[in-house]
Structure 1
Amino acid sequence: MSNIFLDISRLLARVSNALHPTGVDRVGLAYMEHYRPRARAVLSEFGFSTILSEKASRQAFDLVLGSQPSRHAIRARVVRGIVGLRRDVPKRGVLLHTSHTGMQYPRYFRAMRRRGIRSVFMIHDLIPITHAEYCRPGIKEVHRERIHTALSHADGLVLNSQDTLDELQAEADRANLPMPPNVIARLAPGISSRIDAPSPLEHPYFVMLGTIEPRKNHWFMLHVWRKLVEQLGALAPKLVIIGRRGWECENVIDMLERCESVRCAVIELPDCTDEQMLTWLQHACALVFPSFVEGYGMPLVEALVLGVPVLASDLDVFHEIAGEIPDYLDPLDGPAWVAKIRAYAQPFSAERAAQLARIEHFNIPTWREHFEHIDRFVEMLVQ
């Protein structure tokens, strides 16, 4: 088996800052769980990288996967792990890098190549390039640099969907850059089954899951809910928004804090634990997922795993992942969303029952299948 190296810089930083894991972080945690018995940890910053000793790698993995340590504990373990590296580092293997962090630095790839290590990066999405209007100012240029550097220097790329691969190929063609060897490996959900917990709300409610940011379309959904309150008054279902406030969402915040009809019908939960999120989601009438663009769409997968219906934007990647199981709507068709939510909120909704029947045929992605693809790809690269 090839030596495996995992860059854990982003995960360590988030753990030390006591931040809840994002979708990208959960992928990194899954890789750590799978490869930790035989992997070395890599730390990097601005393209400069260090490989930890075998003992320090075990300790670093334990820090990330265990209880949250102090920043001092992390720094102490890292310093001890750097000692004696020259005599303790394998000279060949494959780097698996599951975030976009540091991808823009050619020296990172060159340093790995000098060590005899093949670099494999995961591409989660090209949204900052294809839909810059939904992202922070300046991130388009940074992400394009990341993608172009990976196309030029990576030994292999992992894609989460055919849709992401198609976007990447289009960008490579536009920039006249080569496409490295690649593999598509679907991402598994972080949950596997329902938990034994009562519904947190007796009133019918829907869940919207994810950071509040422009591409998630919260502002539109709040207007949908205002219309529902106008039509149904106190009988209108509730909307539960699970996720922190992100960037460029001032209009959403105005609605949440100043619109009386929205305030009475919307519950905002910015700091849910995984167990709380799971409880809210599994008892919902449906997950509403009106995004303008997604690289994958893990909330959709998690809802279907729990047997929860999904009302989603009509995106190619959603069709790729879930087929015709969800009910798809145009992300700007307010009347259609109002009608569908009203139908799903009914006690004996025929439309909801029909989707529940379709959910029984959902092909749940698993990490076992994911890593079968990755391991075959890794072995192909080192032959």
Structure 2
Amino acid sequence: MSTIFLDVSRLLSRLYDGQLPTGVDRVGLAYIQRYGSDARAVLSERGFLRVLTEKDTKRVFSWLMSSAHDRHEIRSLVARSLLSRFDSTHTGRGVLLHTSHNGMEYPRYYRTLRQRQIRTVFMVHDLIPITHPEYCRPGVGDTHRRRIHTALRHADGLIANSRFTLDSLSDEARRADLPLPPNVIAHLAPGIHAHSDSPSPLQTPYFVMVGTIEPRKNHWFIMHVWRRLVELHGSAAPKLVVIGRRGWECENVVDMLERCDTLRGTVIEASDCCDETLQTWITHARALVFPSFVEGYGMPLIEALDAGVPVLASNLDVFREIADDLPDYLDPLDGPGWLARIDAYTQSDSPARAAQLDRIRAFRAPTWSNHFARVDAFLAGLA
């Protein structure tokens, strides 16, 4: 295989800021684990890029895989790399794999790599800012459209995380009258291990909701479901553990978390969870609740099922693509339906929960080995 180049700009920036990995970041880390022994790291900013030396590449990959870092060392390495003269330490052919959306919108990024005979392959996680801009920060939809359109015009290949994402990408290409580059669908594996040996963090029944607090995740709706549970059951109501940092356009959810007396002590916010703590919360939950309006994939869903934990999820096509009929599906606005299902799953002898536990014994999560087998075959075809 020709030399692999990995753009780690987003990963290194988030490590510098001390931020825990999101689902997108976990994919990037999996690519370092797969290709890092022979790959070269790339840093980019607004379409300008540098290929790191072999020595600096090893340092950066080591920092990212261990999460150990020194802000001064990172700042020094980035400054030295981006301010150096044009790097000519690699002139042969290769393939750049870019697993985040950051920087896709700059044509000069593609031109620079093409001058070096390096093909560009981008992973597309979703088109949500284009298809559902109402759930995103103002302006993000326009930026994402530029990213996707630039990739459609200039990328040598695209990796989609799901059939749903590829269909959305194909629809956008048709609408914009742009060509669809060669592509492959490669489902993502769980980002955390399946089980935790730690004891349950709570002695009462609880549910988990995993993901950044943002409008499309539907936290505000689920908060009202939980307020109703407390009104019905008082202190006997199950707990809800909200795992994920506060994102954008979520002031109404923050108001519920901080100012709703009814939910105090029943809804628990866990914004900064390491992998071990996240595993423990999921493993002992009555179920994962996943009431999103739209998703490009749904890594928490497969992480829960892989741990043998039931899932209550929105009736989304992409969830059925990756989990078939194993979870219990509900309309994301069906308040009485969610209330009744959560009520039922709280009970220790719940027939509905037992039935799902029976179904998910047959679940086999996507694996990174299968993911990279598809990616490697795709790259070989491009060559």
- Same fold? TM cut 0.5: yes
Q: 1:150-299 residue pairs with structure 2 within 5 A?
A: 150-299=151-300
Q: For residues 312-358 of structure 1, give each alpha carbon's deviation from its aligned partner in whole angstroms, at most 9, with x where no partner exists.
A: 00000000000000000000000000000011000111110110111
Counterpart amino acid of residue 72 in structure 1: H
Q: For residues 217-242 of structure 1, give each alpha carbon's deviation from its aligned partner in whole angstroms, at most 9, with x where no partner exists.
A: 00000100111111111111111111
Q: For residues 111-154 of structure 1, give each alpha carbon's deviation from its aligned partner in whole angstroms, at most 9, with x where no partner exists.
A: 11110010000000000000000000110000000000000000
| Contact in 2 for aligned 1:126/1:164 (Cα 8 Å) | yes
Change (3 A) 1:247 1:79: closer
The 2-side partners of 1:182 and 1:208 are apart by 32
Q: For residues 4-32 of structure 1, give each alpha carbon's deviation from its aligned partner in whole angstroms, at most 9, with x where no partner exists.
A: 00001111111111111111111000000
The 2-side partners of 1:298 and 1:87 are apart by 39
The 1-side partners of 2:146 and 2:311 are apart by 35
Change (3 A) 1:155 1:45: same
Q: Secondary structure at 1:360's aligned position in 2? A: helix
Q: Residue 375 of structure 1 aligns with which residue?
A: 376
The 1-side partners of 2:220 and 2:67 are apart by 36
Q: Secondary structure at 1:222's aligned position in 2? A: helix
Report the more deviating stretch, 245-254 or 94-103: 245-254
Change (3 A) 1:38 1:358: same
After TM superposition, give the deviation of residue 60 of structure 1 in Å: 1.5
Report the more deviating stretch, 56-65 or 300-309: 56-65
Q: Residue 340 of structure 1 aligns with which residue?
A: 341
Q: For residues 79-106 of structure 1, give each alpha carbon's deviation from its aligned partner in whole angstroms, at most 9, with x where no partner exists.
A: 5667797552142110000000000000
The 2-side partners of 1:381 and 1:66 are apart by 32
Q: 1:325-336 residue pairs with structure 2 within 5 A?
A: 325-336=326-337
The 2-side partners of 1:251 and 1:99 are apart by 29
The 1-side partners of 2:377 and 2:91 are apart by 21
Unpaired runs of at least 5, structure 1: none
After TM superposition, give the deviation of residue 265 of structure 1 in Å: 1.6
Q: Residue 7 of structure 1 aligns with which residue?
A: 7
Report the more deviating stretch, 107-116 or 258-267: 258-267
The 1-side partners of 2:259 and 2:103 are apart by 40
The 1-side partners of 2:81 and 2:256 are apart by 49
Q: For residues 229-271 of structure 1, give each alpha carbon's deviation from its aligned partner in whole angstroms, at most 9, with x where no partner exists.
A: 1111111111111111111111111111222212232111111
Q: Residue 128 of structure 2 aligns with which residue?
A: 127
Could you state the TM-score of these two structures normalised by the residue count of structure 2?
0.97
Change (3 A) 1:68 1:192: closer
| Contact in 1 for aligned 2:50/2:81 (Cα 8 Å) | no
| Contact in 2 for aligned 1:59/1:77 (Cα 8 Å) | no
Q: Secondary structure at 2:232's aligned position in 1? A: helix
Q: Residue 51 of structure 1 aligns with which residue?
A: 51
After TM superposition, give the deviation of residue 76 of structure 1 in Å: 3.0
Q: Residue 116 of structure 1 aligns with which residue?
A: 117
Q: For residues 148-175 of structure 1, give each alpha carbon's deviation from its aligned partner in whole angstroms, at most 9, with x where no partner exists.
A: 0000000000000000000000000000
Could you state the TM-score of these two structures normalised by the residue count of structure 1?
0.97
The 2-side partners of 1:251 and 1:168 are apart by 32
| Contact in 1 for aligned 2:136/2:215 (Cα 8 Å) | yes
- Residue 321 in 1 paired to residue 322 in 2? yes
Q: Secondary structure at 2:302's aligned position in 1? A: helix
Report the more deviating stretch, 33-42 or 190-199: 190-199
Q: For residues 155-206 of structure 1, give each alpha carbon's deviation from its aligned partner in whole angstroms, at most 9, with x where no partner exists.
A: 0000000000000000000000000000000001122331211101111110
Identity of counterpart residues, as a percentage? 64
| Contact in 2 for aligned 1:292/1:331 (Cα 8 Å) | yes
Q: Residue 90 of structure 2 aligns with which residue?
A: 89
Q: How many residues align?
A: 382
| Contact in 2 for aligned 1:18/1:68 (Cα 8 Å) | no
| RMSD, aligned α-carbons | 1.3
Q: Residue 40 of structure 2 aligns with which residue?
A: 40
Report the more deviating stretch, 189-198 or 277-286: 189-198
| Contact in 1 for aligned 2:192/2:275 (Cα 8 Å) | no
Counterpart amino acid of residue 336 in structure 2: P
Q: Secondary structure at 2:37's aligned position in 1? A: coil
After TM superposition, give the deviation of residue 53 of structure 1 in Å: 1.4
| Contact in 2 for aligned 1:3/1:90 (Cα 8 Å) | no
The 2-side partners of 1:141 and 1:346 are apart by 46
Q: Residue 63 of structure 1 aligns with which residue?
A: 63
Unpaired runs of at least 5, structure 2: none
Q: Residue 23 of structure 1 aligns with which residue?
A: 23
Q: Residue 103 of structure 1 aligns with which residue?
A: 104
Report the more deviating stretch, 241-250 or 165-174: 241-250
Q: For residues 31-57 of structure 1, give each alpha carbon's deviation from its aligned partner in whole angstroms, at most 9, with x where no partner exists.
A: 001101110111100001111112221
Change (3 A) 1:376 1:276: same
